[in-house]
Structure 1
Amino acid sequence: MNEGAEDPGLYDFNPWRARPKIEWPDGKSVAVWVSPNLEFYELDPAANPHRKSWPKPHPDVVGYSHRDYANRVGHWRMAETMEKHGFKGSVSLSVALCDHIPEVVENANALGWEFFSHGIYNTRYSYGMDEAQERAIIEDSIKTVREATGQTIRGWLAPALTHTPRTLDLIAEYGLTYTCDLYHDDQPQPVHVKSGQLISMPYSIEVNDHYGFFVYNMSPRDYADTLIRQYERLAAEGEACGTVMCIPLHSYLIAQPHRIRAFEEVLKHIAADGRAWITRSGDIAEHYLAQAGAGK
């Protein structure tokens, strides 16, 4: 095998049908968590030589203002809809939002939503960072979220899904217990790190609204039907061994007036079904790690 092409060994191969049973509270078969990405984008960020922040020449007023809809309008509409049906958010947070638009963070915190780090800005990437720079981002995330909300972050989703080979080792070293940056499973799984204890939290690219609307060109009804089919399959398979369903959202997309009603129908369906443990990502991680043999 060519050097550099080997499996990085982040996790063990663990066949789906041969695993110890995962049990969720109250006999529920699937843990469902909703992950609103509360983000902050810079209009004209410093250039990263490995990836452009905007596809258009800077400043990209169109891209910036489209995403700014989230904090001005979308978050509030999305949050109202989620709360109406009993769904607490697990927030993938651009922690700069705590300083730039604290009202959004304060609102989510008052609702009892959980926060984990999505980096500082969603226009600053981890590619090319040295260890000191990456440590500074993790330390800033922990400090800023704690000061703004009183919460200590437990999870990580890399900014714009960009990483370095040391990212997972570092977040575990700082005491975080889950990463959303591995898309390899429908259940939490142990991750190999140099110190601490880290698990992968199922987070979905396939049913992420960004992919649904930007990549797969789904209509609102198509996207809602996809979420329901995802839920039904995971709830059925979870009867044998508990599964996890994540719904990753961006409110500048899902909370547009022409999309929000279809999304609300999904929440109503899941809430009424009876098989779902509707919860937050940190609670899933804590419950999984507490079960005998988890993470070993």
Structure 2
Amino acid sequence: MGISRKKISLFDILNVSGYILFSIIVLYPFWQTIVLSFSDAKASSSLGVHLWPDRWITDAYEYVFSYGNVMKAYVNTIIRTVAGTFLIVGFTILAAYPLSKKDLPFRNVFTVFFLIAMFFSGGMIPDYLLVKNLGLLDNSLSLILPSAVNVFFIIIMRNYFMTIDKGVEESAIIDGANYFQILMKIIIPISKPVIATVALWAAVYHWNEWFHALVYIQDDSKTVLQIVVRDMLTAMDMTQNAQMGGGGMSTSQLLLSNVRAATVIISIGPIVLIYPFVQKYFIKGIMIGSLKG
């Protein structure tokens, strides 16, 4: 008896080839940025495809980490991201769980109130005046508290909670559990997909957000990484323009391109490292949370 072999069709070959080509197209710019960040000025100035640097150097990274208070700003950004993410996830859970109860008094009124806040905002000047009147100017809390409640996240999580079998809660109530115990011991453990999804969104927002730091923070020791990187690249660009007028264009331009690549890798590094751990929950959480109304 011969061993049966699965016949590979033309469709399978084209399908796999297409995925490989798509992966290369997506990954090449990222790899090119890594190569540029570790290349020297001579290699980065040459035209063509760069798949591997001629010589691995860390000059660009050394320049970035030696600029001003970039390390302090990096730590500030990490602290802001962690604290802000926990705060957003906590408030989202506490708001979404009651709204998922159909017997909640004035449930529709609360829902409409949240929706109005999602579609209409006071604007930048009222936000600034509110932060100022609360005494949060030049305070790290000004980067966390104004964004602690996100209505879109609440709606997504509320819809997910509504898909959970009500028999689970009814059984816990019969056993003597209250709603807080049900939330902490039953609902949260079985809601990892949507919680991981909201946490990822919140972490990406806080990691990339820089405008509030630009408006509310005056002390350089309290600023975030994106502001320092912005100032560094602006200063380098001005230096490059000055050297262009004096005949020193090439060195400045190449240094700027290397440093830009290094700042990209440094800026997205933590998010890239975190994403694989929550990716398996991401699609399930967003799909379930967006279907039930």
Q: TM-score range by the shorter chain?
A: under 0.3
Larger radius of gyration: 2
Higher strand proportion? 1
Higher helix proportion? 2
TM-score, normalising length from structure 2? 0.24
